[in-house]
Amino acid sequence: MSEQKYAIGVDFGTESGRAALVDVADGRVLATSVHAYSNGVIDETLPGTDIRLEPDWALQDPADYVAVFQNAIPAVLAESGVDPATVIGIGIDFTACTMLPTLSDGTPLCFLPQWRQNPHAWVKLWKHHAAQPEANLLNERARAAGFGDILDRYGGKISSEWFIPKSWQILIEAPEVYAAADRLIEAADWVVWQLTGIETRNSCTAGYKAMWSKQDGFPPNEFFAALDPRLEHFVDEKMSREIMPLGAKAGELTEKAAAWTGLKTGTAVAVANVDAHVAVPAATVSEPGRMVIIMGTSNCHMVLGEEATTVPGMCGVVEDGIIADLPGFEAGQSCVGDHFAWFVENCVPASYEQEAEAEGLGIHELLEARAAALKPGESGLLALDWWNGNRSVLVDVDLTGLLLGATLATRPEEIYRALIEATAFGTRMIVETFQANGVPIHEIIGTGGLPNRNRLLMQIYADVTGLPIFVAEAEQIGALGSAMHGAVAAGAAAGGYDSIVEASQKMARLRDDRYLPIPEHQAVYDQLYAEYAILHDYFGRGENDVMKRLKSLKAGVKAGSQGAG
C-alpha cells in the first residue's frame, strides 16, 4: 500500500456507541470516541410520558444510534487529523437481537406521533425478555409440528431474546403496530440502512437470531403457520429473503450520512455484524479450536468448528456466521459483570467503600485484591451464576441466582470470589458441552472489558477450565473488528483486503500476557465444579423448580399490591 489508508468501526453497545479509526495496514487504532445514548436503556417509562413498562421490558430509541454517527465519527476524525478521503470503509457491529418496526422507507414507527406512546413501536433491546411466553410457545408448537430439527440447530430451544419471539409478541399484544410495520428489522441492519439508503440483511443476525441457514434459508411458511396462522407469510411480509455475507459491501455513504459523519460520499459500508461475532477475527481467530470469550456485563462464547453439528443448549451454529465457509458456534452467559456490579451496589458495607477511597482504589479493585488473597475453596462458598437467567446450556430466563455455604463469618470478598468462580464454572459447563459434542477447544482468547480490569478473574477461568487463556490486544475489540470488515468491504483494490482472514492476519494481535492453569488450584476447582454441576442440574433441569415458583409468587404478590393501590 503506497498511500496510508484507514477504516472506521462503530460498535453499538447497550449504553453507548463507540467509534474507532484504524490504520488498515496494521490495525493500529489512532483515535476512539464514545457517545452515550441520551435515553440509554428504557426499562421503566417511555421517554416524555408517564407510561410505565412491565417487568422484563428493555427498549431503546433509534435516534440515539444516529447520534453516534453524528458525534463519534467526527470526533475520531478530529482527534486523528486524518484526511476523510483516506478512509476507505466503515463497518458496524451491534448488540443482538435488538430489533424495531419501521415503514418501508426505514422510518421507525416510534418516530411517528401516532405510535410514539406505544411501547411496541420502539426498539426491543437484546435483553428485552418479555417475549418469554412467545418463546415457550414457539418451542412447544414448532417441535409438535415436526420442526424439531430446526430447533436443534439452536441447542433445542429458541430464546426470548431472539427475533421471532419478539416479533410475535408485537403481533399478539399490539396487532395494530404489527400491521403498521412494513418491516421488522435488526437495529444492526437499520443503522446500515441509514448510512447507505439501502435495506440489507446480514447473515450473522439472520442466522443466529432469526433461524436462517445458508443451506435452507428461513424456516418454511408451514413452520410459521404452526406457530400462529397470522405468521404464515412472516418472512415475505415483514423481512427479506435476500441475505448478504459478512464482509460484503452493503452500499456507499449517502450525501446525508456523509454530512453526519464528515466522511466522503461514496465511502464503502460493510454489511452489518454482531458485537460478539465481529470480535472473533479481531482476536486473531479464523480457524477451529480456539474459543473467543467476550467478557463484560455478560459472556459470549464463540468458536469455529470443522463441521456443523448440533450442540445441546447452544445459542446456535451458522455456516458463514463468523468466517466464510466455516460453521460458527455461539453460547453465552447472561450475567457476568452485571453479577459483580449488583453485589457491589447492594451488598458491600460502607467500611469497604471508605477503605477503598483511603487507598485510592475502586471498590472492585479492593475486592479483587482481598479475594486474590484467598485460596480456592477457602471460603466454603458455592454460587450459581443465574442472577439474570441462564442462556447456555439451559436456555431458561426464569432461573435465578443461588449462594450456598454462607455463615455469619462470611466476608464480602469471599462472596465476590464465589461469584467470579460461579461464572467460570458456567463457562466450563459450556466448554465441556462443546467438547462432548464434537467441537474441539484447546485454548481461550479473552476480550471485552473484564480481561482489561480483573486479572484474578482471568486466572480463575484458566484454573477452572484447565485451558490456557490469552488476551486480545485491542481494547475496543468490536470497533476494531467492524473496521476490519469495513476494509474488506472496500477491497484490496481500494487499499483494503479481499477477505476477513487476510485482514485478521494483518490487523489483529494478542498481548504478551497469558494465564496458565495452576495444577493445585485445578484440583480444588475440580471438586467444586462437581458440586456446581449437581446444583446446576438439580435446579436447572426440572428436578426442583423452586426458583420458578418463587419468581411466580413474587410476580403475583406485586400484581396484587399494584391492583390494591
- pLDDT at residue 2 in the model: 52
**Residue 149: pLDDT band with limits 50, 70, 90:** very high
What would the pLDDT profile of 512-551 be if each residue is shown by its tens digit? 989 999 999 999 999 999 999 999 999 999 999 999 999 9
Question: Which residue pairs from 451-454 have beta carbons closer than 8 angstroms and sit at least 24 positions apart in sequence?
Answer: 451/295, 453/364, 454/364, 454/368, 454/420
Chain position carrying cell 463507540: 18
- pLDDT at residue 1 in the model: 40
Asked if residues 188 and 98 have their Cβ atoms less than 8 Å apart, the reply is: yes
Q: In this structure, is the dihedral angle defined by the CA atoms of residues 161, 164, 169 and 170, taken in order, positive or negative?
A: positive
What would the pLDDT profile of 295-306 be if each residue is shown by its tens digit? 998 999 999 999
- pLDDT at residue 564 in the model: 64
Strand partners, 352: none
- pLDDT at residue 558 in the model: 86
Q: How large is the C-alpha radius of gyration of the chain?
A: 23
Is the pLDDT at 395 greater than 90? The verdict is no
What would the pLDDT profile of 478-510 be if each residue is shown by its tens digit? 999 999 999 999 999 999 999 999 999 999 999
The C-alpha cell at 76 is 475520531
Mean of pLDDT values over 406-425: 98
254 C-beta neighbours (distance < 10 Å), count: 17
CA atoms within 13 A on the CB side of 60: 31
Q: How far apart are CA 13 and CA 18, in angstroms?
A: 8
- pLDDT at residue 166 in the model: 98
Predicted TM-score of the model (pTM): 0.92
What would the pLDDT profile of 201-228 be if each residue is shown by its tens digit? 999 999 999 999 999 999 999 999 999 9
Mean of pLDDT values over 47-55: 94
Ranking 1-5, 87-91, 277-281, 445-449 by mean pLDDT, the lowest is: 1-5
Strand partners, 8: 21, 90
Q: How far apart are CA 367 and CA 475, in angstroms?
A: 23
**Residue 565: pLDDT band with limits 50, 70, 90:** low
> How large a percentage of the chain has pLDDT more than 70?
99
Longest dimension (CA), the chain: 74
* 538: Cβ contacts below 8 Å, ≥ 6 apart: 544
Average pLDDT, rounded, for the chain: 96
More confident residue, 452 or 9: 9
- pLDDT at residue 561 in the model: 77
**Residue 155: pLDDT band with limits 50, 70, 90:** confident
Is the pLDDT at 239 greater than 90? The verdict is yes
What would the pLDDT profile of 61-75 be if each residue is shown by its tens digit? 999 999 999 999 999
Listed residue (215, 213, 237) closest to 224, CA to CA: 237
**Residue 515 φ/ψ, nearest 5 degrees:** -120, 120
342 C-beta neighbours (distance < 10 Å), count: 15
DSSP for 102-143 reads E-TTS-BGGGSTTTTT-GGGSEE-TT--TTHHHHHHHHHHHH
Domains of the chain: 6-276+477-511 (3.30.420.40), 284-473+518-565 (3.30.420.40)
**Residue 560: pLDDT band with limits 50, 70, 90:** confident
**Residue 257: pLDDT band with limits 50, 70, 90:** very high
Please write down the HEC assignment for all residues of 422-438: HHHHHHHHHHHHHHHCC
Chain position carrying cell 426464569: 398
537 C-beta neighbours (distance < 10 Å), count: 13
Is the pLDDT at 315 greater than 50? The verdict is yes
Q: CA angle, corner 129, sides to 159 and 150, nearest 5?
A: 15
